[in-house]
Amino acid sequence: MKTKKITSILLKPALVAAILLSASLLFAYIQGVAVLFPVTGIGIAQTPGAAQAPVTEKSNALNDTARFLAGLPVESEAVKPYIDKEFYPKYRAEIDKNWNESFNLNRESIQKWRAENLSDDYSLSVFYPFSGPDILNPLAFYPNAKEIVMFGLEPTGGIPDLKKVKPAAVNQQLSLLLKALNFSLDKAYFITLDMGKTVKPSSINGISAIMVFFLARAGYDIIDMKEINIAKNGSAANGKTADKSAINGIEILFSEKDSKEVKRARYFTLNIVDDSKQVAGFDAYMRKYPALTTVVKSASYLMHWNNFTKIRRLVLDKSDSVIQDDTGIPYRIFKKSSEWEVTHFGRYHKPIAVFKTSYQKELDEDNKRYSAAPIPFVYGYGYGYKDITYHLVLAKKLKKK
């Protein structure tokens, strides 16, 4: 392992104070928000890395739904019956506050930091294991990405029909989102652990809705959305399957405003433990990519465990670079390898109590030795600390001579 020492940006105390919650734990709590319009899919599920078929216009229904969820102006007559004149203005005001003071503030800080610290030479296929619906972070780190592959245990939520949902029920879903956004860091963490007691199972189906919520808020237009699946041989197809060895997912096509370049995000509901029947198919699917840029955040240290060796091997084999907190690939693997160059950013902190056995002494020592300054944004776990600090490890695979 080669190690680089860098100079970073000082952490602004005001920024930490402004970040009231952590997206990685919030997402699991607010996944009940799944209010979407149906839409006919464009084309068939494409193979990894394949060029997108030309798309000339966006789905107005999907884009309007995303903007409705995001508390943004919507002109559509189809949406107006669901805009409660008393409730929705309050919802919009609260969403604006949370976005401006928390999510977007953190996103913009990452964007500024990446412009000064990360190269533009990276694979445009980004892999984000254990992501939940966190579409914001990979796009903040890698804005030129053409494709983002994500997975988690949570169901996608599919594409339900807003027209079949009573306005009162829509308000309840929006209220759930508002409630989650208003929790502090510590409360969001404990609610996540206690989800089974606080959220009805029928409401835990909103990964896709949260993803389009954040895409709309980040300024993207939703082009299309469809259910997809991966068969046990690694091939992708349209639609949902009942085959337990297959993997169901959702595909979102989106673009920046006034841009003709279409990006693709795919989220899969997946149990990635080594003995899962789904692992072989997903591994075969991902290995079709020439190379990956991998992002890991708040991944519960699963790739440290002996029963998550296959996903760990996949990341190491296919990634040209990995940017992560301490919950990703164990640091000792990068340190002992001659294949990787490692750069440290920020200030390492010991894991929170529930993960206390995952402390990495070598990472702690090398972070102190090679990292010059804190990072100016929130990333990873950090709840319950009086002096919250965050860190990143950037591992780049060295080119073979």
Q: How many CB atoms lie within 10 A of CB 202?
A: 7
DSSP letter for 82, please: G
DSSP letter for 371, please: B
Q: 24-59, pLDDT tens digit by residue?
A: 434 433 333 333 333 333 344 455 644 344 444 556
For residue 98, what pLDDT band results from cuts at 50, 70 and 90?
confident
DSSP letter for 312, please: H
Q: To which residue do tokens 């200030």 refer?
A: 347
- Prediction pTM value: 0.85
* Neighbouring C-alpha atoms within 13 Å toward the C-beta of 203: 20
- What's the confidence (pLDDT) of residue 182? 57
Using a 10 angstrom Cβ sphere, with 0-12 exposed, 13-18 middle and 19 or more buried, the burial of residue 41 is middle
- What's the confidence (pLDDT) of residue 372? 86
Are 319 and 352 spatial neighbours (Cβ–Cβ below 8 Å)? no
- Of all residues in the chain, the percent with pLDDT exceeding 90 is 54
- What's the confidence (pLDDT) of residue 70? 92
Mean pLDDT of 351-356: 88
Q: Which domain holds residue 369?
A: 2-397
Mean pLDDT of 72-82: 88
Q: Report d(CA 290, CA 302) in Å as an integer.
A: 25
Cβ partners under 8 Å of residue 305, min gap 6:
none
- What's the confidence (pLDDT) of residue 253? 96
Q: Report d(CA 138, CA 105) in Å as an integer.
A: 15
- Lowest-confidence pick of 173-182, 198-207, 349-358: 198-207
Is 195's pLDDT higher than 80?
A: no
- What's the confidence (pLDDT) of residue 41? 36
Number of domains in the chain: 1
Are 390 and 347 spatial neighbours (Cβ–Cβ below 8 Å)? yes
For 283, phi and psi rounded to 5 degrees? Answer: -60, -45
- What's the confidence (pLDDT) of residue 5? 56
- What's the confidence (pLDDT) of residue 46? 53
- What's the confidence (pLDDT) of residue 387? 63
Is 192's pLDDT higher than 80?
A: no
Q: Where are the alpha helices (DSSP H) in 236-308?
A: 279-286
